[in-house]
Amino acid sequence: MTQVILHHYSNSPFGQAMRLALGLKGISWKSVEQPDIAPKPELSALTGGYERIPVLQIGSDVYCDTAVIVDRLETIKAEPSLYPEPLGFAGRMIANWSGSAWFMPAVGVALGTDPNIVSDAFWEDRTTRFGMNPQKFLPMVPHLTTQFDAGGALVRDALADGRAYIGGEQVGHADLMLYMNIRFAGFAGRKPSDFGHKVAAWYDRIDALGYGEFESWTREQALNHALETNPTAPVSIAEGSPFAAGDLVSVKTESPDPAFVTGQLIGLSDRQITIQRHDDKVGDVHVHFPRLGQIVSPA
């Protein structure tokens, strides 16, 4: 049977959002712990070099980035939707803001108060991969804190009319992504109630979703599972795309992160990029990325 496997670590904010998404949807899953710094050889065997967290594996379909993970979760189990009415899919844009513009301010708050909260190896990793050199990053923390607070004030004001969740009476993707940043700031002692009692109550409601039914797997189990299965998610190249099926391409995140993944293009649309690649440890895998925020170039 094809399994739903989340590669993550407990402190990962994006990982937390996806654990809650699995809990909310009631999808049972396997939990594979990955390191919080590179190298991540087992993860790279699956992804081809993408080492961010989380990654979702379904058999030998591999989903890099929470945007394609939630899209896939919606297809596995439509209800409850991560995009409840009346906000509907517009919630994706709030989720995206929280995972991009509002994320770095949360990182600043979480890591900046006490630089020793993380190891030297962690700072070195983040410097190499994300340009987060502590000499440059830490002086930005006061500004990042103002941005975190300004974003939190938006959440507070959006909830001021007494609604239970950001889009109305039902929880969705947007809530999970906003919540993850407030939780992350908790590493430095910040509290949801810093933004008032309505934000604190909203936070507790999201917390109470839990992670659903899951069991721990080793990284080796996940790789063996990929070897034993074949990719199944349907993909296609949209008409008018600048690339054709079978083109050798590289996919790289729009960021200082030098990591890229190379393979044969088999899917391209406004929402998703899919490449096929092979690794002896996992066999043939289809690696999926969101189109938004990724650079596709000929390899």
Ligand X SMILES: N[C@@H](CCC(=O)N[C@@H](CS)C(=O)NCC(=O)O)C(=O)O
Write the DSSP assignment of 105-148 as a string of letters: HHHHHHHHS-GGGS-HHHHHHHHHHH---HHHHGGGHHHHHHHH
Q: Residues 19 to 78: which contact ligand X by CB under 6 A?
A: 36-37, 51-53, 65-67
Question: Of 156 and 173, which has the nearer Cβ to ligand X?
Answer: 173
Shortest distance, position 251 Cβ to ligand X, whole Å: 13
**Pairing verdict, β 283-290 and 61-64:** parallel
SS3 content of the chain, % helix, strand, coil (to 5): 45, 20, 35
H helix or E strand, kind and range, residue 72: helix 66-76
Shortest distance, position 15 Cβ to ligand X, whole Å: 6
Residue 152 CB contacts under 8 Å (≥ 6 apart), including other chains: 182, 194, 195, 199
Residue nearest to ligand X (CB): 52
Which residue type occupies 33? Answer: E
Question: Of 159 and 174, which has the nearer Cβ to ligand X?
Answer: 174
> How many residues bind to ligand X according to rule CB under 6 A?
13
Question: Of 11 and 224, which has the nearer Cβ to ligand X?
Answer: 11
Under the binding rule (CB under 6 A), the answer on residue 175 touching ligand X is no
Question: Of 15 and 23, which has the nearer Cβ to ligand X?
Answer: 15
Interface mask toward ligand X for 74-113; x: CB under 6 A? -------------------------x--------------
Shortest distance, position 273 Cβ to ligand X, whole Å: 14
Shortest distance, position 29 Cβ to ligand X, whole Å: 16
Q: Go through 248-261 and write b for each residue having 16 or more CB atoms within 10 A of its CB, e for each that does not.
A: ebbbbbeeeeebbb
**Pairing verdict, β 4-8 and 248-253:** unpaired
Q: Please give the residue ranges that form the binding site for ligand X (CB under 6 A).
A: 12-15, 36-37, 51-53, 65-67, 99
